Structure 1
Amino acid sequence: RLLIKGKNEDNEKFEMKVGVMREMQMEHAKCALSAAIKFLQVKMMLYHLHLSIHLF
């Protein structure tokens, strides 16, 4: 009985850790994605600026 109880507690702790890690990975992915989008936006702005300087 005690062994089974200990195992269940370990499983719960493990599942919590996995859940936390997933949350962190999701947050990290969101940050990376928004950073990439911002980078692309800036790149496009600079590209348009570059073009307009050369055209006019």
Structure 2
Amino acid sequence: MGRGPETAPQAAGRARAALLRGLSDQEIADILGVSRATVRSQWARALDKLRIKRVRREA
């Protein structure tokens, strides 16, 4: 019997691990079972959130 669908935190953890190993966007997409565009848009969204938090801390 297969495991259930991956949760968002599990997927995020796998993506972080893949990034730390130096994998390409396409390799990360293959691991997560999503498109390369999804990987890139999720990274962009995450970086935007980090920028917002940093600006608020510096203000």
TM superposition score category, shorter chain reference:
0.3 to 0.5
Higher helix share: 1
TM-score calculated relative to the size of structure 2: 0.43
Give the structure-1-normalised TM-score. Answer: 0.45
